[in-house]
């Protein structure tokens, strides 16, 4: 029987098949089937009927049962009995754990509830378990808000300024493209379900180009690999525009009808000739010119850009510049053309119902999660636009000489009140947040009350005062959208919670009760919350009902099968056009045209720093890990072997480093040690440490985030993980 014909929970005596959805922070959000025998999950497989899952799961979720049934699971609530960070705990009851938390929160809230800080990200992306009753709870409590910026904010903001919303090329259309540019994405690792589409395009004669400073698993399988210096993509895109405009390769009709500000964009692009950009990017002029010509003269042409290229000071502007390209050449006319950063804006989610922002009563401050180290140590990182120099001034005052735009100026301002309690769920900040020395110093504070709700005893959990056991996706209910396809999905629990684990939603319900929160929304069941997630009236959600979604497991959005969202304009910007010139940005004091903002730590922006720390480090995801998830499980760690630093032979020779040597990577923020792999995978001037390793499982207790910075991006105030300079030496 084909899988599609299975009812959702197919009962065969003591054998059931339950349909779920992958909870992980990945564009693919797969539909899967779990076989359960006598209450135990025995098999997990990708749904064959779900078009993008296509019957297969990634290397990680294929082995999800290893995660669910790991002997490392946190099984019951515990309290700390040793020094902070040592991870020594004693078992307590749920009642004691919840009473302790409620008492502490009441005590702090009586003084100032803003001293209580929630901290969460996308350990699960389900709406119920990641952004519903948790938000309600902290809003009602009056806690500080959290700006969830650690991943995608810069790119999202850059894309939004140009296109209006995160809507792009339907990934299922990529098979019909004739040229695909994979720009700052490691598709085979971080978006593997797009790869079959790329192979399909190739079988039909398409060319695939990767733009990545690192010869990733994906880059090595492409027809061409272009390796710019990290953080220089904005300049590269502007140089492509320069060539396209000068050689009159634009789609004049599309530009006239559906774009705004072409003349200003033209002037801006003329400031970026390939000769200048060759020096910025470390590419040859010929490479840039050829890329621009190929891009402008092949149809359909799709750009798969992703978040790797926006983890730099100018990440927002880089995405903005790249997303101007398709409109310039009319690539959006084809369903298989255009650009895809994320599909998430195609969905219409009822966030107001899920999160209930109306419960906020005290105008609380917002703490940026990407600068949690500073925040825990009593400082808030605040950005001010750089009004002194740069291109922005040139738009305002055309006669004024300016250089490239600069990132906003950042200042550390005292945080009052300091954070006195932090509640962490769906995240592992001790391992994944930048500048970890500061993060760890913060978590070590004796006067900080820390709650961690986790599946495993992570690096962060070791600092908990109260550690609570969390369920995995097989053990709770949820509803999902995706950022790499166009389907809503349902996840049904396949098994009972392992040990005494509880879902996030249940813990917040119990805490709300103890805090005396009486609103009905604190009593909603998981299914009731899930039902509230969808704006059923929205045109793109038409036809989706909760009942049918529950029955079928997944449903496509109400968009045409051959979906070409901007074939005839209809951009979602204020003007309805693709905004080369953005009034919205101008009003925020930001350069209204796409600009190049060099990495904060680069020869252009910090010439003195480069003398001391000449190598740029990037630390993108390892194939078998998902951020720090899976990085504790034996077979995953075995597959990744050990932390390694890819270094180019030229850079290695200059430091007498040989393949296999142990090296120390360091800058003023910190250091970490690992094994050198000398190869041409990293371009000269760049070293690569695939991540994110658990600190306590490495030989020196450190990882790549010991050298990353809390500096923020130009747009969206996101994290700049790949904007860091280091030196490397043999140990």
Ligand X SMILES: Nc1nc2c(c(=O)[nH]1)N[C@H]1C(S)=C(S)[C@@H](COP(=O)(O)OP(=O)(O)OC[C@H]3O[C@@H](n4cnc5c(=O)[nH]c(N)nc54)[C@H](O)[C@@H]3O)O[C@H]1N2
* Least distance from ligand X to the Cβ atom of residue 460, Å: 8
For tokens 């032979």, the residue is 649
* Least distance from Mo ion to the Cβ atom of residue 653, Å: 35
CA pair distance 228, 645, nearest whole angstrom: 19
Q: Please report whether residue 605 would count as binding Mo ion according to CB under 5 A.
A: no
Q: Please report whether residue 482 would count as binding Mo ion according to CB under 5 A.
A: no
* Least distance from ligand X to the Cβ atom of residue 372, Å: 11
Cβ closest to Mo ion, residue 191 vs residue 281:
191
Judge contact between 228 and 236, C-beta under 8 A: yes
Cβ closest to ligand X, residue 330 vs residue 598:
598
Q: Which residues bind ligand X (CB under 6 A)?
A: 25-26, 121-124, 129, 150-151, 183-186, 189-190, 211-214, 216, 230-231, 233, 306-309, 312, 425-428, 432, 453-456, 458, 470, 504, 618-621, 623, 625-629, 691-692, 704-705, 708, 721-722
Cβ closest to ligand X, residue 498 vs residue 626:
626
Partner whose binding site includes residue 657, from Mo ion, ligand X, none (CB under 5 to 8 Å by kind)? none
Judge contact between 670 and 626, C-beta under 8 A: no
What are the contacts of 95-99 at 24+ separation with CB within 8 A?
Answer: 97/466, 97/468, 98/507, 98/510, 98/511, 98/514, 99/514
Segments in 43-126 forming alpha helices (H): 64-68, 94-111
Cβ closest to Mo ion, residue 151 vs residue 712:
151
Partner whose binding site includes residue 428, from Mo ion, ligand X, none (CB under 5 to 8 Å by kind)? ligand X
Partner whose binding site includes residue 213, from Mo ion, ligand X, none (CB under 5 to 8 Å by kind)? ligand X
Residues 6+ apart with CB under 8 A from 367: 117, 144, 145, 146, 147, 375, 380, 415, 419
CA pair distance 179, 435, nearest whole angstrom: 39
Burial 471-495, CB ≥16 within 10 A → b, else e: bbbbbbbbbbbbbbbbbbbbbbbbb
Q: What single string gives the DSSP state of each residue in 681-703?
A: TBPTTEEE--B---GGGSTTS--
Radius of gyration over every alpha carbon of the chain, rounded to an integer in angstroms: 25
> How deeply is 11 buried, as exposed, middle or buried, from its count of CB atoms within 10 A (0-12, 13-18, 19+)?
exposed
Judge contact between 541 and 557, C-beta under 8 A: yes
CA dist 96 → 117, 469, 500, 511, 523 (Å):
21, 14, 14, 12, 21
Binding mask 136-175 for Mo ion (x = CB under 5 A): ---------------x------------------------
Cβ closest to Mo ion, residue 259 vs residue 436:
436
* Least distance from Mo ion to the Cβ atom of residue 11, Å: 38
Cβ closest to ligand X, residue 186 vs residue 393:
186
* Least distance from ligand X to the Cβ atom of residue 395, Å: 25
Cβ closest to ligand X, residue 74 vs residue 108:
74
Cβ closest to ligand X, residue 193 vs residue 406:
193
* Least distance from ligand X to the Cβ atom of residue 683, Å: 10
* Least distance from Mo ion to the Cβ atom of residue 212, Å: 17
Partner whose binding site includes residue 621, from ligand X, Mo ion, none (CB under 5 to 8 Å by kind)? ligand X
* Least distance from Mo ion to the Cβ atom of residue 151, Å: 3
Element (H, E) at 529: helix 526-532
Binding positions for Mo ion, rule: CB under 5 A: 151
């Amino acid at each position: 029987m084909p899988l599609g014909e299975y009812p959702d929970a197919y009962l065969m005596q003591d054998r059931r098949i339950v349909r779920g959805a992958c909870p992980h922070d990945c564009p693919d959000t797969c539909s899967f089937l779990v076989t359960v025998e006598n209450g135990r999950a025995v098999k997990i497989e990708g749904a064959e009927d779900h078009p993008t899952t296509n019957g297969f799961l990634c290397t990680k979720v294929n082995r999800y049962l290893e995660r669910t049934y790991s002997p490392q699971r946190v099984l019951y609530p515990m309290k700390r009995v040793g020094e902070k960070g040592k991870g020594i705990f004693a078992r307590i009851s749920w009642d004691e754990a919840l009473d302790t938390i409620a008492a502490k929160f009441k005590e702090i809230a009586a003084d100032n509830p803003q001293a209580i800080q929630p901290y969460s990200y996308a350990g699960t992306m389900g709406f119920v378990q990641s952004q519903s009753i948790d938000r309600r709870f902290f809003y009602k409590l009056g806690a500080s808000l959290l700006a969830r910026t650690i991943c995608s904010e810069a790119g999202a903001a850059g894309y939004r300024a140009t296109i209006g919303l995160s809507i792009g090329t339907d990934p299922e259309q990529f098979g019909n493209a004739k040229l695909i540019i994979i720009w700052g994405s490691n598709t085979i690792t971080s978006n593997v379900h797009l790869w079959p589409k790329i192979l399909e395009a190739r079988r039909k004669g398409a060319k695939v180009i990767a733009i990545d400073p690192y010869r990733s698993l994906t880059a090595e399988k492409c027809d061409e690999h272009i390796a710019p210096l990290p953080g220089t993509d904005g300049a590269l895109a502007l140089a492509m525009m320069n060539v396209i405009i000068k050689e009159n390769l634009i789609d004049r009709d599309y530009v006239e009808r559906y774009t705004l500000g072409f003349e200003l964009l033209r002037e801006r692009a003329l400031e970026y000739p390939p000769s200048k950009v060759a020096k910025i990017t470390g590419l040859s002029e010929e490479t840039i010119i050829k890329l621009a010509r190929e891009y402008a003269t092949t149809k359909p042409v799709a750009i798969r850009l992703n978040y790797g290229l926006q983890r730099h000071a100018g990440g927002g502007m880089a995405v903005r510049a790249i997303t101007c390209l398709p409109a310039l050449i009319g690539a959006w006319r084809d369903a298989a053309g255009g650009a895809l950063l994320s599909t998430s804006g195609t969905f219409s989610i009822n966030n107001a119902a899920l999160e209930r922002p109306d419960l906020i009563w005290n105008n609380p401050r917002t703490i940026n999660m990407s600068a949690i180290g500073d925040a825990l140590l009593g400082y808030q990182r605040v950005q001010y636009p750089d009004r002194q120099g740069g291109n922005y001034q040139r738009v305002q005052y055309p006669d004024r000489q300016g250089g490239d735009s600069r990132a906003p100026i950042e200042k550390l301002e005292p945080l009052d009140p300091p954070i006195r309690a932090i509640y962490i769920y769906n995240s592992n900040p001790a391992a994944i947040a930048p500048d970890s020395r500061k993060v760890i110093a913060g978590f070590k504070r004796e006067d900080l009350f820390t709650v961690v709700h986790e599946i495993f005893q992570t690096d962060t959990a070791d600092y908990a005062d109260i550690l609570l056991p969390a369920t995995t996706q097989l053990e709770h209910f949820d509803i999902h959208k995706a950022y790499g396809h166009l389907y809503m999905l349902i996840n049904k629990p396949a098994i009972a919670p392992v040990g005494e684990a509880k879902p996030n939603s249940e813990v917040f319900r119990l805490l709300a009760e103890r805090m005396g929160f009486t609103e009905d929304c604190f009593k909603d069941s998981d299914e009731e919350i899930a039902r509230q997630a969808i704006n059923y009236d929205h045109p793109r959600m038409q036809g989706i009902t909760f009942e049918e979604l529950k029955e079928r497991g997944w449903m496509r959005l109400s968009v045409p099968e051959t979906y070409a969202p901007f074939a005839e304009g209809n951009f979602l910007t204020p003007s309805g056009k693709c905004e080369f010139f953005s009034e919205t940005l101008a009003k925020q004091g930001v350069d209204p045209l796409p600009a190049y903002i060099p990495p904060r730590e680069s020869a252009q922006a910090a010439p003195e720093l480069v003398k001391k720390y000449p190598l740029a480090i990037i630390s993108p995801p390892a194939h078998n890990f998902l951020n720090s998830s899976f990085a504790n499980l034996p077979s995953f760690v075995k597959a990744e072997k050990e932390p390694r630093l890819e270094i180019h032979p030229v850079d290695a020779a200059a430091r007498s480093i040989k393949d296999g040597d142990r090296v120390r990577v360091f800058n003023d923020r910190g250091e970490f040690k690992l094994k050198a792999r000398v190869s041409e995978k990293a371009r000269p001037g760049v070293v690569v440490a695939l991540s994110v390793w658990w600190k306590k499982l490495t030989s020196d207790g450190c990882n790549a985030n010991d050298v990353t910075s809390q500096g923020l991006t130009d747009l969206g105030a996101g994290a700049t993980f790949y904007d860091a300079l280091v030196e490397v030496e043999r140990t």
